[in-house]
Amino acid sequence: MSSPTTAVVGTGIVGIATAYYLAKQHGQGNITLVDRSQPMTFTSAQSGENYRNWWSHPTMVDFTNRSIALLEEIARDSGNRINMTRRGYALATRESDIDTLVAELRKGFGDKVDALLRFHTGGSASTYYPFEKPDWEGVPDGVDIVQNQDLIRSRFPSFDHAIRSIIHVRRGGDISGQQLGMYMLEYLREAGASRVIGEVKSIAAGNGFRVEVSTTDGVKQLQADRIVNAAGPFAGKIAAMLGVDLPLQNVLQQKISFEDSAGAVPRAQPFSIDLDPQLIDWTDEERAMLRQDADAAWMAEKMPGSIHCRPDGGDGGKWIKLGWAFNNTPSEARWEPAFDDNFPDIVLRGASRLTPALKTYYGRLPRGMHHYGGYYTMTKENWPLIGPMGPEGAFMNCALSGYGTMSACAAGELCAAWIANAPRPAYADGFSMARYANAQMMASLLDTDKGVL
């Protein structure tokens, strides 16, 4: 007897991972992947390609720990085709009182926390595992908290000398999201999955699902027993075709990448985040001019922290990535988002506060600089939506905002378990629509740091 047919709408990394685990763990390869374009060419193509298990809630820690374990499994099985490294996340602040940050760590790691936090206050730290080698094997879990400025300067020589505390999350690093997607697609091809390139125009429920897809060869009708909404920024639109209103919003975030010909950022540097709010490094004249322009005045005022920077392209590469998720205004998703022409200068000047050597690029960013971005599709609490969606046989895997690549494996595995009616992890119900019936839980989530980076 053949397995039920499943149509997955969306071939970003989340949709691909859902199909992959449905085939790999449940033997169901009768899958059709539907998207208007080639796989991994919209939101997934704009990924920062980072991963971490640092969250303020133990459920999110468990979820991402599971995803990282699955990534490590793929790295081993593929000879590290996905280029997985584990230099961690280095969170930097000029504050010496970091009790609030440590409390967030304690909240996230729960009853395991005492074994996972390591404090380094002396000038040398033999227990502070090095990060110069990128391999993930052997790197300790947990967090190294460094509060000796001599030690900070010796390990992070490019950082602003005013940095007083480093919170180094060790189970973190980067991967190649594109290679992860290709690896999964190759498995799916062997398992018998197929693809349809076209835009979904309508979905009708009843005796399965009838999906109308507009392709270059005309309208095509697909019939499937189950359907998965993994449409990223367009998940709300797909859900509405089935009469379902999902609590989603899209927020556009931007990044830049360029060749660091000046060597401002050491190649062995972890993914680095400046936690401190700041005034962007304008001259007094520039700031005065900005304040005279109603549309630009915000750039002259205090900006939030969490600007980030990392090397890109491995130890032998020269490129770096800079990002700053300061936008919090929801907008309607568009296939061709409009980017702010000021963003490259803003993010460069913001990043130069942590890495002063980046100032060499003021007014002369390389011509090949890449300015890009994508939508953070998210719930207000910034937890994903994974599980049943409306009519029987309809499922969703969406709202993974800025953490889609790092959590795709666990999200795909969980959604596949829902589809196959297989045993699910303890966090399953918390990521389904069931959580909205728990007022106490929702109040707690809305009062917790959202982890938006």
3-state secondary structure the chain: CCCCCEEEECCCHHHHHHHHHHHHHHCCCCEEEEECCCCCCCCHHHCCCEEECCCCCHHHHHHHHHHHHHHHHHHHHCCCCCCCCCCCEEEEECCCCCHHHHHHHHHHHHHHHHHHEEEECCCCCCCCCCCCCCCCCCCCCCEEEECCHHHHHHHCCCCCCCCCEEEEECCEEECCHHHHHHHHHHHHHHHCCEEEECEEEEEEECCCEEEEEEECCEEEEEEECEEEECCHHHHHHHHHCCCCCCCCEEEEEEEEEEECCCCCCCCCCCEEEECCCEECCCCHHHHHHHHCCCCCHHHHCEECCCEEEEEECCCCCCEEEEECCCCCCECCCCCCCCCCCCHHHHHHHHHCCCCHHHHHHCCCCCCCCEEEEEEEEECCCCCCEEEECCCCCEEEEECCHHHHHHHHHHHHHHHHHHHHCCCCCCCCHHHCHHHHHCHHHHHHHHCCCCCCC
Q: What's the average model confidence in pLDDT over 418-436?
A: 97
Q: What is the pTM of this model?
A: 0.96
* Whether residue 164 sits in one domain with residue 297: yes
The 10 Å CB-count burial string (b at 16+, else e) for 388-407 is: ebbeebbbbbbbbbbbbbbb
- For the chain, the domain total comes to 2
Average pLDDT, the chain: 95
Q: Indicate whether 373 belongs to any domain.
A: yes
CA distance 384 to 324: 21
CA distance 384 to 403: 10
* Whether residue 221 sits in one domain with residue 263: no
Residue where a domain stops, chosen among 378, 393, 422: 378
* Whether residue 438 sits in one domain with residue 347: no
* Whether residue 166 sits in one domain with residue 154: yes
Q: Could you read off the pLDDT of 258-298 as tens digits, one per residue?
A: 999 999 999 999 999 999 999 999 999 999 999 999 999 99
Residue where a domain stops, chosen among 357, 378, 399: 378
Q: Could you read off the pLDDT of 314-365 as tens digits, one per residue?
A: 888 999 999 999 999 999 999 999 999 999 999 999 999 999 999 999 999 9
Domain that holds residue 28: 6-49+177-247+380-446
pLDDT at 1 over 60: no
Q: Indicate whether 143 belongs to any domain.
A: yes
**Whole-number percent of the chain with pLDDT over 90:** 92
CA distance 237 to 259: 38
For the chain, give the number of residues.
Answer: 453
Q: Indicate whether 222 belongs to any domain.
A: yes
pLDDT at 442 over 90: yes
Sheet-wide strand order for 370-378? 117-120, 143-146, 165-169, 89-93, 271-274, 307-312, 319-323, 249-259, 370-378
Q: Could you read off the pLDDT of 225-235 as tens digits, one per residue?
A: 999 999 999 99
* Whether residue 233 sits in one domain with residue 263: no
CATH number at residue 366: 3.30.9.10
Q: Could you read off the pLDDT of 79-113 as tens digits, one per residue?
A: 999 999 999 999 999 999 999 999 999 999 998 89
Q: Indicate whether 64 belongs to any domain.
A: no
CA distance 51 to 175: 8
* Whether residue 161 sits in one domain with residue 97: yes
* Whether residue 369 sits in one domain with residue 255: yes
pLDDT at 372 over 60: yes
Q: Residue 385: beta bridge partners? A: 398
pLDDT at 65 over 60: yes
* Whether residue 163 sits in one domain with residue 181: no
* Whether residue 398 sits in one domain with residue 326: no
* Whether residue 44 sits in one domain with residue 160: no
CATH number at residue 23: 3.50.50.60
Q: What's the average model confidence in pLDDT over 150-165?
A: 96
Q: Indicate whether 65 belongs to any domain.
A: no
Residue where a domain stops, chosen among 378, 404, 432: 378
pLDDT at 179 over 70: yes
* Whether residue 138 sits in one domain with residue 268: yes
Q: Indicate whether 326 belongs to any domain.
A: yes
Q: Indicate whether 236 belongs to any domain.
A: yes
CA distance 396 to 432: 9
pLDDT at 120 over 90: yes
* Whether residue 422 sits in one domain with residue 361: no
The confidence score (pLDDT) of residue 8 equals 98
The confidence score (pLDDT) of residue 173 equals 95
